[in-house]
Amino acid sequence: MNTEEQTILEEQTLLEEQNLLGEEQDLLEKNVKIFNDGFDDFNNLKYEKKKSSCSIFKYLICSSLFLISIAGIGYGIKQYFFTKPLSDEPVNAAICAIAKEENLYVREWVEYNKNLNISRIILYDNNEVDGEKFEDVIGDYIDEGFVEIVDRRGVVANATQSNQEAAYNDCYNKNYKKYDWIFFIDVDEFLAIERKYKNINQFLNDFDNDEFDGVKMQWRVYGDNEHLYYEDKPVIERFLSKSNMHHVPHVKSVVKCKERDYVMTFYAHGPLNKEAVMVNLFKKKIGINDKPTKNFPVYLNHFYTKSTEEFINRKFNKTDVHYGAGNYISQLESVKKLYYEYNKVTDEKEKMFNALKNKK
């Protein structure tokens, strides 16, 4: 084979190898394309599934929001067209209370109720004959007629009726024709209107119909807020805090004044009459509460113990408002039990109680 033939053969061999490589490259590229297409399809499938899941999730959310909106619109329509709007028409409401040795606190309480737009406070003075006088601290409110003092100084309760019960019955029978409503509360109880109603007028007007004779307002009891001693500051400032608050089932009453075919009879927490329809703040008829409710729009904040010193002075050193002069409230351990029902036991408090053992 000459040189020229040899060259031609080498060129043909090289060309065949290049063609083979080209085919292999094409095949490789084709396989890569197939793989990439398959991977893209896989990803697209995952995306479509995810998209489908998201669509279902979004649909459920939108549907729920739509239903909630429809319910809200329906409630709004009901409230607007079918619910009696709350009335701000002025209400002639009085407070009946009996108090003894409350000169440290009574002015704050009177001013609080005046700011609520109470018409008058009828305050039964059950102090000792030679004891403190309310005129010394609220004389201006007495002079202007906002507070009416009823003299029961030195009066001792009998075996069948406490001083508080006697005052409540006397107050209602003498005043029910003068007022629309009468509250029967104490100087350590403050009416708290927190939602639904903007003021006392809306609250009482909401219950102004022939079905109800009155409303039982549930207590929220406040303890010592870790105060050992008295401070010359408002009670609300010292003790009104959520950490110091206790929901309890006890109630006090506000009673609608109207003509009845029976004589209203009261005890400390409201009317005794079975005929009287007393309801709670949800307009449900109730007898004696067995458990507290935590979502009423109105409560009666009861500053029951105040500081340790104040509780001792009120419950152990002072003669009892309910049962008359000369009758101290049970024994020291009973007094401590009352106190610790709403307050933490500490060494400092125990020392203050133990110091009383040899005092009486």
- What was the pLDDT predicted at 182? 98
For residues 217-238, b (16+ Cβ closer than 10 Å) or e, as one string? Answer: bbbbbbbbbebeeeeeeebeeb
How confident is the model over 252-259, as a mean pLDDT? 95
- What was the pLDDT predicted at 328? 45
Q: Does 201 score more than 60 pLDDT?
A: yes
For 220-249, what is each residue's pLDDT tens digit? 999 999 999 999 999 999 999 999 999 999
Q: Does 95 score more than 80 pLDDT?
A: yes
For 270-315, what is each residue's pLDDT tens digit? 999 999 999 999 999 876 656 899 999 999 999 999 999 999 988 8
For 29-75, what is each residue's pLDDT tens digit? 555 454 455 545 445 544 454 445 556 655 566 566 656 656 556 54
- What was the pLDDT predicted at 39? 45
Residue from 174, 247, 261, 178 nearest 217 by CA: 247
| Domain 93-303 grouped into CATH 3.90.550 | yes
For the entire predicted model, the pTM comes to 0.75
Number of H helices, E strands in the chain: 9, 11
Report the percent of the chain where pLDDT is more than 70: 71
In angstroms, the CA 308 to CA 227 distance is 7
